[in-house]
């Protein structure tokens, strides 16, 4: 009797040496302590073909069609992958490291943990981290900011349902400042196979999102300020599920994303979104020191890469701090960088603050300002400060409607606010017909 695709699927699921399951829209096998994806579709088809030949005792007729049918069956009838739940469990080289009650402990690898990654080192609390810490401190220039950096990297090892800081990390600064070296060290410590490299704007491309599945970290090398989508920033930093319309396949939802790091010479300078919700998604660490790369030794990077176990240990310590404190270490450097970033984009708030746009008082000579006059003052402020002016609508929406009242008197309309420190006076206003 000729075997059907279902017969081969049942045999494969019951007798395969390694468990097979669909994870985030693709088939994986559990091998060496984690669920591994196939290197390519060709490799997957070869795997299925060999399983068919072994089950059949030889190559059956119409094997290509049979492979397609078996693949389709497997994508419908698969072993459900269980997850480790909300426990902080990290898949190390030889075991699973857990964080419980402020302590590290180890347990054996287990299929049910459903890890999609595996680190290349074990936890070694005795490893000397002082050299690599001090090396990176030369570039970051503040211990607290460096602690935050390792806490963010450590958060890549913590499930979002345990702690979700809703941040993306930006390493900002001009060239020759250590950003690239630091990122190379982090990628190598986590394992290149556990890191994706999409740029920020590429996350809007469904066909590219699949490369992030199972990754711990995504490292981008530049941000194009003209292509930053605020809604995408919020969604990605928050780790919200994203539905992917897979090319030549059924759509599926990605529920876990790698933590996002981007290195850039220039921060985004424009945004249609000037809300606090947008700005708080960015965790900015300035790299302001310039290094002389001419004095690098020939074995500069190979020597640094010998410290990968120490870098991973610093990440684990960062994860421990984050679990214990439920927040990042306070850093004046990072706080000030965030304020400067917001100020550079949010020209409206700067105008309101610097030009003292306040509620009018009964004693004011003119207790209102017309919409066109207010926008003109704002526009001149932006010209004076070299800032990008937003639209009139955005300016009016930024004013608190609960506080700012509308002035109506006959045919006169305006807002009950005054600009107490105007960027231009009435007498010097070139647009003033008088």
- pLDDT tens, position by position, 392-426: 887 877 776 656 788 887 777 888 889 999 997 65
Q: Tell me: do 253 and 300 sit in the same domain.
A: yes
Asked if residue 43 is part of any domain, the answer here is: yes
Q: Confidence class of residue 16 from pLDDT cuts 50, 70 and 90? A: confident
Nearest to 114 by CA among 311, 255, 281, 279: 255
Q: Could you report the per-residue pLDDT of 239-287, keeping only the tens digit for each?
A: 888 877 766 566 777 878 899 999 998 887 667 676 788 889 999 999 9
CA distance linking residue 240 with residue 54, whole number of Å:
42
Per the model's pLDDT, the better-predicted residue between 85 and 374 turns out to be 374
The pLDDT tens digits of the residues spanning 161-181 come to 889 999 999 999 887 889 999
Q: Is residue 103 part of a domain?
A: no
Q: Are residues 308 and 386 in the same domain?
A: no
Give the separation between CA 206 and CA 213, rounded to whole angstroms.
12
153 and 64 assigned to the same domain? no
Which residues span the domain enclosing 199? 123-342
In a domain, 204, yes or no: yes
* Residue of 427 and 84 predicted with greater confidence: 84
For residue 96, is it within any domain? Answer: no
Whether 311 and 243 map to the same domain: the answer is yes
Residue 357 belongs to a domain with what CATH number?
1.10.10
| Of 300, 294, 261, 286, residue with least CA distance to 181 | 300
Distance CA 226, CA 73 (A): 44
Given 291, 316, 342, which residue is the final one in a domain? 342
Q: What mean pLDDT is predicted for residues 193-211? A: 88
Burial class for 30, CB neighbours closer than 10 Å (0-12, 13-18, 19+) = buried
Share of the chain above pLDDT 90, in %: 43
Task: State the residue for tokens 């780790």.
Answer: 239
Does the pLDDT of residue 77 top 70, yes or no?
A: no
Q: Supply the pLDDT for residue 203.
A: 87
Confidence of residue 427 (pLDDT cuts 50, 70, 90): very low
Per residue, what are the HEC states of 241-293? CEEECCCCCCCEEECCCCEEEEEECCCCCCCCCCCHHHHCCEEEEECCCCCCH
pTM of the model: 0.80
Both 133 and 213 in one domain: the answer is yes
Binned at pLDDT 50, 70 and 90, residue 57 comes out as confident
């Amino acid at each position: 009797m000729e075997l059907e695709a279902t017969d081969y699927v049942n045999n494969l699921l019951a007798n395969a040496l390694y468990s097979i399951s669909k994870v985030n829209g693709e088939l994986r096998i559990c091998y060496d302590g984690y669920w591994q994806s196939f290197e390519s579709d060709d490799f997957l088809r070869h795997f299925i073909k060999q399983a068919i030949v072994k089950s059949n005792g030889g190559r059956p007729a119409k094997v290509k069609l049979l492979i397609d049918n078996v693949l389709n069956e497997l994508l419908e009838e698969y072993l459900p992958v269980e997850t480790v739940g909300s426990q902080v469990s990290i898949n190390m080289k030889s075991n699973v490291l857990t964080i419980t009650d402020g302590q590290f402990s180890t347990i054996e690898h287990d299929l049910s943990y459903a890890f999609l990654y595996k680190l290349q080192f074990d936890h070694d609390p005795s490893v000397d981290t002082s050299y690599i810490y001090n090396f990176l401190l030369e570039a970051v220039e503040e211990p607290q900011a460096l602690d935050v950096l390792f806490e963010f990297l450590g958060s890549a090892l913590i499930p979002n349902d345990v702690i979700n800081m809703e941040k993306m990390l930006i390493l900002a600064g001009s060239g020759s400042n250590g950003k690239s070296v630091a990122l190379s060290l982090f990628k190598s410590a986590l394992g290149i196979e556990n890191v994706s490299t999409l740029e920020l704007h590429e996350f809007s491309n469904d066909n590219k999102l699949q490369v992030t599945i199972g990754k711990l970290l995504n490292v981008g090398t530049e941000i194009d300020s003209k292509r930053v989508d605020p809604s995408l920033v919020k969604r990605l930093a928050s780790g919200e599920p994203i539905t992917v319309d897979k090319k030549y396949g059924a759509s599926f939802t990605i529920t876990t994303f790698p933590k996002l790091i981007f290195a850039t010479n220039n921060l985004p300078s424009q945004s249609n979104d000037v809300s606090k919700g947008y700005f708080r998604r960015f965790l900015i660490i300035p790299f302001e020191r310039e290094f002389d790369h001419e004095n690098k030794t020939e074995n500069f990077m190979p020597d640094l890469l010998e410290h990968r176990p120490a870098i991973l240990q610093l990440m684990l310590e960062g994860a421990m701090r984050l679990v214990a404190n439920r927040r990042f270490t306070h850093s004046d450097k990072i706080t000030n960088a965030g304020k400067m970033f917001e100020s550079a984009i949010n020209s409206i708030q700067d105008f309101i603050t610097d030009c003292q746009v306040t509620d009018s008082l009964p004693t004011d000579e003119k207790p209102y300002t017309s919409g066109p006059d207010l926008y003109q003052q704002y526009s001149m402020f932006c010209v004076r400060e070299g800032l990008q002016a937003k639209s009139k609508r955005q300016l009016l929406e930024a004013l608190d409607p609960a506080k700012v009242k509308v002035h109506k008197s006959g045919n006169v309309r305006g807002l009950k606010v005054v600009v107490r420190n105007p960027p231009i006076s009435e007498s010097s206003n070139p647009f003033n017909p008088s």
